[in-house]
Structure 1
Amino acid sequence: MRHLLSLIVFVSLSLPFSAQTNTDGVITIGRNALYYEDYALSIQYFNQAIQAKPYLYEPYLYRAIAKYYLEDYIGSIEDCNASLERDPFIDETYKLRAINYIMTEQYGKAVQDYRKLISMEVENRDIWSNMVLCETQLDSLHTADMMLDTMISKWPDYPRCYILKAQIAIQCKDTASADTLLDKALEISPHEVDAWSAKAQLLLQRDFFAESEAAYDKAILQKPKESGFYINRALARYKQNNLRGAMDDYDIALDIDPENYLGHYNRGLLRMQVGENNAAITDFDFVLKKEPNDRLALFNRATLSEITGNYHSAIRDYTTVLEQYPNFITGYENRARCYRAINDKKHAIEDERKVYIARLDEVFGNKKTVNKATRKQKEQNIDDYKKLVTENDENNLAKFYSSDYRGRIQDRNITVELQPMFFFTFTKVDNGLSSHYNYAAFVEHINVTKELYYPLFLSTREAQTDLTDFDIIHKEDAKIVDLLSRHKEQSQLHFYHAVYLAAERNYIDAINSLDSAIRYNPTHEGALFLRSTIKVRQAEMNLHKPTISAKGKKEISYIKSDEYNILIKAAIQDLTAAIMTDDTCPYLYYNRGCLYAKIKDNEQALKDFNSAIQLNNSLGEAYYNRGLLNIESGNAQQGFEDLSKAGEYGLYSAYSLIKHFRKQQNTKSK
């Protein structure tokens, strides 16, 4: 973030501004918001600047920075592109876009940006380092190695060059060269934590356990909050029969990173060895909650359940393991023992017979096994159930990427659900950042008459109505009822009556009044809109309707899905009729899209969200919902782009969703 600070100028946050204020002032305030890590707010200011002066490169660049911090890498790339279209000579933009390409695994494009920077004579060590790392991701190890030779000629005292070159040597199985290169890095910088950790890992792989432990001691001294260092040092200690020291390291690692799979699994094995069986069960319970299909962890828990006398639980776990590994003899042997313990001789004899036959096959078949001391996390050979787990073989170079754009992302607990429909409210409700008016012609026509006490607004959020408001609504409605007694065929009066009844939550009478309004005027857009929203509310209220049973207990009754769908489809019909009257209102399409999504007709829902966006290209709710449906249908790329747009228009939870779904993608790809 150090370099980012140079982009930011501090000014008073109380600077007044309006739509007529100069764009520089708005950009400056946005940059202040960036500095204080209020990324969503800064985006809104940069939006204003872009709208006022779309030919400036700066607001696009700053908005790209904000999106990067929100982990909206695709949106950040798009803004970098827009910024470069306006000024292709800003090196900061290329740097940011390259980092975004790296985060989205577009390494070839990142290399192009770094080469462009070098051609612009914007040379620094980080640019070269990142370009080397991208080449390694593209499996161009020879190219990367030659680049490092060039780097060493330019910056011979830069330890990272030697560390990266050592990592490439390790990938090429040249451990002797790697060791020499790491020693050179430490000669230049004796406190280089990456060099110590790489050397420690190399020594561990070569079975120099005491030396590896000493190297991890040095790394931990420099970086005491790195859980991986403790987990690896625990393995080095374990190999030296220092079980208590290994246990201490696992405890520290899990204090730092309570969700660490390796820490819990390996600590569970060690606790098992030293007889801390109940504590070991707790560790394996955690592992199985995180990885429900980990059969090795399940087998170890079964063994512990057997040791602690919980034979039924042990049998259940052994059986699950044997369903996946039907030739696992130790599983049958252990389960037979449990069956004996509960006096189930029949099943015990069946398992013992399988064990006997298998042992004969082993003797006469000369079965051989490869005995490794540890296993990788991705390796799931059931015979390795006693082995400590190490990290999967992955490219360890990824952690070396350098970026000026590093900062705290404000994580949020999120719920993955569609944005709600728009409905009538008497109060202008903020969307979470700025109060804005959702214009619809049919609403404007209602408000122009000023025949309702309060003007109507469209909102997906409902404002709290206080008791004074209800008193006023009740009095105003009484006036409408009096007029209706003399003018029963006036559609508009029935509509006004329904609006007040709906505000009082009297939905049944409101529907009756709307039926009358529509009977006298079948094209009454407001009445059709309001009736559709009330029908949806009725359907959703009935979906989880509390009732009192014959025994006096409160219960939840569920409306049948068919009945729910009937009510939703009736609401869709109302909106369709309204659209036939006015096909230029985006909120009608949006609401209908929401209803199609409720009955799982995603194809029609997407069409309606498309129409809503065509009519109003700043309707954040439509982008949000379309994004979720695209992701659900497997079109993640388009989904991320839509969520990025939703975030731009004030729906900040969209950024948390992007992060959430990207994390899911990364988990599945492992």
Structure 2
Amino acid sequence: MMRRLLIAFLCCLPGWVGAQINTDRVMAIARNALFFEDYVLSIQYFNQVISAKPYLYEPYFYRGIAKINLEDFQGAEADCTKAIERNPFVPGCYQIRGYARIRQHKVDGAIEDYKKALEYDPENSGLWNNLALCRIENKDYEGAKKDIDRLIALAPRESNAFLMRADVAMRQKDTLAAEKDIDKAIEVDAYNSTVWTARAVLRLQQAKYKEAEGDLDQAIHLAVKNADNYINRALARYHQNNLRGAMDDYDVALQIDPNNFIGHYNRGLLRAYVGDDNRAIEDFNFVIEQEPDNMMAIFNRGLLLDKTGDLRGAIKDYSTVIDEYPNFLTGYYYRAAARRKIGDRRGAEADELVLLRNQLDRYNGVKQQTAADHKTRKKSDRNMENYGKIVVADSDEDAPHYKNEYRGRVQDKNVRIAYQPMYALTYYEKPGNVRRTIHYYRYIDELNRDTLFAKPLLITNNEAPLTEQQVNEHFKWIDDHTASTASDNKTDAKLRFLRGLDFYLVQDFENAISDYTAAIVADDSFMPAYFDRALARYKQLEYQKAESQMDKNAGNVLPSGAPVVVKNADYELVKNDLDQVIKLAPDFAYAYYNRANLFAMLGDYHAAIVDYNKVLELDADFADAYYNRGLTYIYLGNNQQGIADLSKAGELGLFSAYNVIKRFTVHE
């Protein structure tokens, strides 16, 4: 049904001849959808191209990328294999298939893919990165070091490459080489929190706890929402006998990651050490709820119940542990004492008899299990004598390993400080944000009462991709709006706008712009058509600009096409539309905001600030405008004013502003 609907409406569009679909046109729309992360929609378009021309490699390749992002790794591998069968000379096909194989734990197959891709593209740093990580996975450390050396030669400012080589050195027990590489990573990129975390982990292993705490201070300063950094700093503070500081860190870690096992277990121990018994019980209750067979947590809870007077609850916990570990003498000792307190003399004497027999065994030279001397234990440790020790994360080897990521989700954007996006009039908004603001404008509210509008228009800069059901619905609405007849120009303008919005939502910007233009011709005072046409034109230009640089941005994994040169003058039409919106609706803050974003993107920061000022004059609580104006001030060198604006944005609920503030106030 979906295929018939798509063909039906596409055949009516410019550039379609008869029943033969224009695959170049559909392919362009599909890549639009892929670029703007509308993966379900893009797959449906790629299906159409494959159905019409199954001998082309590109739709299989791009459909594989979409499936990667939807975590359908088996399907992505199959699509890339089909692409390779049709054209075996495109390195990107091997790279994407290699990544899909990694995610299915087919490391050997991934290695072969990366080696093949490097035959065609030996300067691709992403390929060397993934090949080295695959070799590490296979414990081929010498091979991994050679690959990383090549990666560093290609990208000498890539801090993660040095961390990767440090990881290999630690696996080979070469601490000095690892430390040297981590120091180099810090020298290359001191604003990357990961490099400070890596050195802190190494210093924890070396028992340099004060130095580790200093490195973790810096890592937390740069990445305030990373729970692991607080967990590690708590460990460093614990080893320096700063129990209160350690508990503070566990508190913050658990605010960020409420289900963190180590955080709850260790905070429970520390609370017990300082006499905060009831709250310690709460922590161990959480651990036991998550891991009902965690005997050390059960025993610690038993000790705390004993101290707080719940003797029967304590005896129950002691008995649970003794049933699992019948040679755990400490359990018998505490259970005997608890049984005597409640008057269970027979039970107490039975436990004491076990202890007496053990004492006789010791006299006779029977070796007993004892706890190690150090203050921590691994999470997987099952020696009950270690029940009172702080837990540290497990590792397959004694050396600390550093997190390295395979590069394969080529649609992912580089982590960077960026402006909050432009606003749109649309139907869908992503749910689940901490900051949930309802954007209102009286004229849009009046439009939503019009019976022509089947869904209410939303003003949002957090657009949601369509589900398959929504895709089908909008294809149907395109047909419905096409078949509708208008009795007057104003009605026709609304119908054209609605069909333009349908085209926009299915990422067909060319037809969306055409319909928005038709709406304006029918009623040149219809402000929403200008507003959404500006956004459609902007997105179309941004996609064209990105496509011309796609090889570079995606690690040369995408097939090259004819370059599209986008000049600043091309954005003049976007500005003209926003100018017209402001003329028609001078109190519509979102038009000033979008125009300010356009100015900022073009590098005209002073004009951008003028428009952001106007936005905040109209709406003093516009968090995105504070955020973007703050970045603009910083780009102009006015950090003090920029940080003040970012602070206001954070106060209004745009919490990512605090991370940016820390980035620009980092301690040297």
TM-score band by shorter chain is 0.5 to 0.7
Contact (CA 8 Å) 1:41, 1:433: kept in 2 or not? no
1:298 equivalent in alignment to 2:302: no
User: 1:126 maps to what in 2?
Assistant: 126
Whole-angstrom distance in 2 between the partners of 1:237 and 1:280: 19
- Whose Rg is larger? 1
Residue 232 of structure 1 corresponds to 232
Secondary structure of residue in 1 paired with 2:391: strand
Does residue 102 in structure 1 map to residue 102 in structure 2?
yes
Q: What is the aligned partner in structure 1 of residue 377 from structure 2?
A: 375
**Equivalents in 1 of 2:41, 2:349: separation in Å?**
70
Give the drift of 1:372: 2.6
How many aligned positions are there?
A: 406
For 2:106 and 2:230, locate their aligned partners in 1 and report how far apart those are by CA, in whole Å.
33
Structure 1 counterpart of 2:388: 386
Alignment of 1:347-496 (within 5 A): 347-362=347-362, 365=365, 367=368, 369-394=371-396, 396-405=401-410, 432=469
Give the partner amino acid of 2:275. Answer: G
Deviations along 1:371-410, one digit per CA (max 9) or x if unpaired, are: 23211111221111111111111483553333343659x9
Amino acid at match of 1:213: E
The equivalences for 1:95-244 within 5 A come to 95-244=95-244
2:404 aligns to what SS in structure 1? Answer: helix
1:555-590 Cα deviation digits (max 9, x unpaired): xxxxxxxxxxxxxxxxxxxxxxxxxxxxxxxxxxxx
Query: Given that residues 69 and 409 in structure 2 are in contact (C-alpha distance below 8 angstroms), is that contact kept between their aligned partners in structure 1?
Result: no
Deviation at 1:187, TM superposition (A): 2.5
Q: CA deviation at 1:67?
A: 1.3
Q: Structure 1 residues 146 and 363, CA, compared in 2 at 3 Å: closer, same or farther?
A: farther
Separation in structure 2 between the aligned mates of residue 381 and residue 406 of structure 1, nearest angstrom: 47
CA distance in 1, matches of 2:252, 2:209: 20
SS in 1 for 2:71: coil
| Alpha-carbon separation, structure 2, partners of 1:334 and 1:78 | 60
Does the CA contact (< 8 Å) of 1:162 and 1:182 recur in 2?
Answer: yes
Q: Residues 42 and 63 of structure 1 are in contact (CA less than 8 Å); yes or no, is this contact kept in structure 2?
A: yes
Give how far 1:241 is off: 0.8
The aligned amino acid for 2:161 is C
Deviates more, 1:382-391 or 1:370-379: 370-379
The alignment's C-alpha RMSD in Å is 2.8
CA distance in 1, matches of 2:150, 2:25: 44
Write the distance in 1 (CA, Å) between the matches of 2:408 and 2:272.
43
Deviations 1:512-544 (A, max 9, x none): xxxxxxxxxxxxxxxxxxxxxxxxxxxxxxxxx
Paired with 2:163 and 2:471, the residues of 1 have a C-alpha distance of 49
- Equivalent-residue separation in structure 2 for 1:314 and 1:246 (angstroms): 27
Which residues of 2 match residues 37-52 of structure 1 at below 5 A? Answer: 37-52=37-52
Distance 1:122 1:153 in 2: 12
Unaligned 5+ runs, structure 2: 1-9, 414-429, 433-466, 474-668
Q: Deviations over 1:298-344 (max 9, x none)?
A: 11111122122222222222111111100001111111122122211
Q: Structure 1 residues 71 and 270, CA, compared in 2 at 3 Å: closer, same or farther?
A: same
Q: Report deviation, 1:22.
A: 1.9
Equivalent position of 2:79 in the other structure? 79
1:649-660 correspondence runs (5 A)? none
Deviation of residue 289 (structure 1)? Answer: 1.8
Q: 1:91–1:122: 8 Å Cα contact kept in structure 2?
A: no
Provide the rounded CA distance (Å) in 1 between the counterparts of 2:363 and 2:308: 33
Per-residue deviation at 1:363? 5.3
Name the aligned partner's letter for residue 303 of structure 1: L
- Using the size of structure 1 for normalisation, the TM-score is 0.57
Contact 2:170 2:178 in 1 (8 A): yes
Query: Conserved in 1, the CA contact under 8 Å of 2:340 and 2:348?
Result: yes
- Mapping for residues 526-605 of structure 1, pairs under 5 Å: none
- Rate the CA distance shift 1:375–1:190 in 2: closer, same or farther, 3 A: same
Change (3 A) 1:149 1:40: closer
Q: 1:88 to 1:129 in 2, by over 3 A?
A: same
What's the secondary structure of 2:225's corresponding residue?
A: coil
Distance 1:434 1:197 in 2: 44
Show CA shifts across 1:258-316 (max 9, x none): 11111111111111111222211221122122222111111111112212222222222
- How far has the Cα of 1:97 moved from its partner? 1.4
- Say whether the 8 Å CA contact 1:133–1:397 is kept in structure 2: no
Return the alpha-carbon distance in structure 2 between the equivalents of residues 146 and 132 of structure 1.
8
Shift in Å at residue 155 of structure 1?
A: 4.1
SS in 2 for 1:161: helix
Residue 343 of structure 2 aligns with which residue? Answer: 343
C-alpha spacing 1:271/1:61, structure 2 compared with 1 (3 Å): same
- Deviation of 1:89 (Å): 2.3
Task: Measure the CA separation in 1 of the matches of 2:339 and 2:77.
Answer: 62
Q: 1:15 to 1:266 in 2, by over 3 A?
A: farther
Structure 1 alignment gaps of length 5 or more? 1-11, 413-429, 437-670
**Partner SS, residue 400 of structure 1:** coil
Q: Which moved more, 1:329-338 or 1:306-315?
A: 306-315
SS at match of 2:105: coil
Shift of 1:411: 11
After TM superposition, give the deviation of residue 19 of structure 1 in Å.
6.9
Deviates more, 1:161-170 or 1:383-392: 161-170
CA distance 1:398–1:112, shift in 2 (3 Å): farther
Deviating beyond 6 angstroms after TM superposition, the runs of 4 or more aligned structure 1 residues are 14-19
Change (3 A) 1:286 1:35: farther
Shift of 1:153: 4.1
Does structure 1 retain, via aligned residues, the 8 Å contact 2:135–2:144?
A: yes
Tell me the SS of whatever aligns to 2:377: strand
Distance 1:226 1:75 in 2: 33
CA distance in 2, matches of 1:210, 1:431: 54
1:321–1:331 contact (8 Å) kept in structure 2: yes
Q: 2:378 is aligned with what amino acid?
A: K
Opposite residue 325 of structure 2, the aligned amino acid is Y
**1:589-616 Cα deviation digits (max 9, x unpaired):** xxxxxxxxxxxxxxxxxxxxxxxxxxxx
Inter-partner Cα distance in structure 2 for 1:267 and 1:19: 68
In structure 1, distance between residues paired with 2:153 and 2:264: 45
Amino acid of the residue matched to residue 405 of structure 1?
V
Separation (CA, whole Å) in 2 of partners of 1:15 and 1:388: 67
Residue 68 of structure 2 aligns with which residue? Answer: 68
CA contact (8 A) 2:33 2:39 kept: yes
The 1:406–1:28 alpha-carbon spacing in structure 2 relative to 1, beyond 3 Å, is closer
Instruction: Tell me, in whole angstroms, the C-alpha distance in 2 between the residues paired with 1:86 and 1:49.
Output: 15
Task: Quickly say closer, same or farther: Cα 1:376–1:301, change in 2 above 3 A.
Answer: same
Determine if contact 2:65/2:409 at 8 Å carries over to the other structure: no
1:39 corresponds to which letter in structure 2? Answer: Y
Deviations 1:17-73 (A, max 9, x none): 997542233333333333443322332222222222212222212221221112111
Q: Is the 8 A contact 1:339 1:345 kept in 2?
A: yes
String of CA shifts for 1:201-228, please: whole Å, max 9, x gaps. Answer: 1110111100010111122222222111
Q: What is the rounded CA distance, in whole Å, between the counterparts of 1:232 and 1:434 in structure 2?
A: 46
User: Between the two proteins, what is the percent identity of the paired residues?
Assistant: 43
Shift of residue 351, structure 1, vs aligned partner: 0.8
**In structure 2, do the counterparts of structure 1 residues 435 and 24 end up closer, same or farther at CA, with 3 Å as the change threshold?**
same
